Amino acid sequence: MNQAIAEHLQASYQSASRIVSVDARTVRVPLDRHTAFSSRVVVARDYTVVRVKTADGHEGIGFCYSGSRAGMLVTCAVRELFAPLLRDRSSLDVEGLWREMYQESLLQGRAGCVMRALSIIDIALWDRNARAAGLPLSRYIGATSADRVPAYASGGYYVDGKTPGHLGEEMASYVALGFRAVKMKVGRLDPRAEEARVKAARAAIGDDVLLMLDANNAWSDVPTALEHLRRYERYDPYWIEEPFSPDDIESHAQLAKRTPVTVATGEIEAGRWRHQELLDKRAAMILQSDAAVCGGISEWRRIAAAAAAVGVTMCPHWFHDLHVHLVASTTNARYVEYFPDDQVLNFRRLVDTQLEFADGMLKVPTGAGLGFGFDHAALERYAVDAWA
């Protein structure tokens, strides 16, 4: 290929990938039943959804959970802080755009709402580029798994009237669907009451199914966490998730030294630098970094590479529709967190295609990009504001 042809093709690619619009809106989806974690009750979920369109007509979508209220903060960051920076730029310049967005938001961001806004846009750019290439996202970024990846069924929330027996029945129902790993919540009740719940779950699923425990930042000190964990250890939990505040990395590290239960965390952590501190302090052997929170697909892949260098496993949090692609393309990723129904991860109501699963494995989508789109009727039903 001569120089003139190469330059012509390059110009064509740049012209076709020119970003012509970045639109965002907020949607609020109520939960059918009030549902509790260790330290809070959720009655509705706000999501920010984004679409990025390019001159060739291709469109990429992004999304994030933006809180149980005030999700408009994330949407505002997309519209006011980042969208003006992106218009007329090439969607192919993903890494460069990431760096510019990060620099632009140093005073407002680096975590929280602004980093979630950056994450959403980064996801949309990768999705657009994969769709334009006609490839599933997992293949576009380099798949390692042929067509299926392992998943665990996530549930076990606190609901009024739910007994340990009911919890056991719920966990057993996931096993009946074929899942060989399940997760439940802990930390809301006193140690004795929590032990009864863990005991019931283990009895219901048997000895050969992995049982993950999620504390959702329940404890404020290592002795309290140990008081709980010493009761749980006899039921062979696979991990204890988010035992402390995400800012209390030192307590994670101290707990990891004092319990045989693997510590997992990172779902609301942002940026490679904070994740590096978790790795340096050996505060977690499993990172649950969420690409819709930590800085998008671009940053998630950097974090995963750093984790691989020290033998740490990636098991990303939430949004199985997104993370199935990342687990399928990352050598040190093991599980996708999967929600079998739309009662907790009610984002499922906003998309037009659901993942297929069998025998505890998720089928990796074969359609271009993420392999699904927004259900526009659902977006209109739950919308807080209009596309803008």
Provide the residue range defining the domain that includes 75: 3-134+376-382
Q: Residue 131 is encoded by which pair of tokens?
A: 């769709």
For residues 227-256, give the mean pLDDT: 98
Q: Residue 241 is encoded by which pair of tokens?
A: 């998730």
What's 371's DSSP letter? Answer: S
Same domain, 119 and 151: no
Q: Hey, which bits of the chain come out as E strands?
A: 19-36, 41-54, 59-67, 148-154, 181-185, 210-214, 239-241, 262-265, 286-287, 313-314, 336-338, 357-358, 361-363
The more confident residue out of 326 and 8 is: 326
Residue 370 lies in a domain: no
**CA dist., res. 123 & res. 101, Å (int):** 13
**CA dist., res. 176 & res. 314, Å (int):** 26
Same domain, 128 and 147: no
For residues 343-347, give the mean pLDDT: 94
Same domain, 260 and 223: yes
CATH number at residue 226: 3.20.20.120
Residue 81 lies in a domain: yes
Q: 369: closest CA among 320, 322, 315?
A: 322
**CA dist., res. 130 & res. 136, Å (int):** 6
pLDDT higher than threshold 50 for residue 102: yes
Residues in Cβ contact with 347 at an 8 Å cutoff, skipping those fewer than 6 apart: 29, 45, 47, 63, 65, 319, 321
Residue 49 lies in a domain: yes
Q: Residue 217 is encoded by which pair of tokens?
A: 């930042």
pLDDT higher than threshold 90 for residue 14: no
Residue 108 lies in a domain: yes
Phi, psi of 221 (to 5 degrees): -150, 160
Residue 198 lies in a domain: yes
Same domain, 208 and 112: no
**Matching residue, tokens 């995400």:** 246
The whole-chain average pLDDT of the chain stands at 96
Beta bridge partners, 29, equal 45
Same domain, 287 and 178: yes
pLDDT higher than threshold 70 for residue 5: no
What's the first-to-final CA gap in the chain, in angstroms?
43
Same domain, 92 and 147: no
Same domain, 146 and 116: no
pLDDT higher than threshold 80 for residue 216: yes
pLDDT single digits (tens) 84-97: 999 999 999 999 99
For residues 265-283, give the mean pLDDT: 97
Domain count, the chain: 2
**CA dist., res. 287 & res. 152, Å (int):** 15
pLDDT single digits (tens) 133-142: 999 999 999 9
pLDDT single digits (tens) 42-99: 999 999 999 999 999 999 999 999 998 889 999 999 999 999 999 999 999 999 999 9
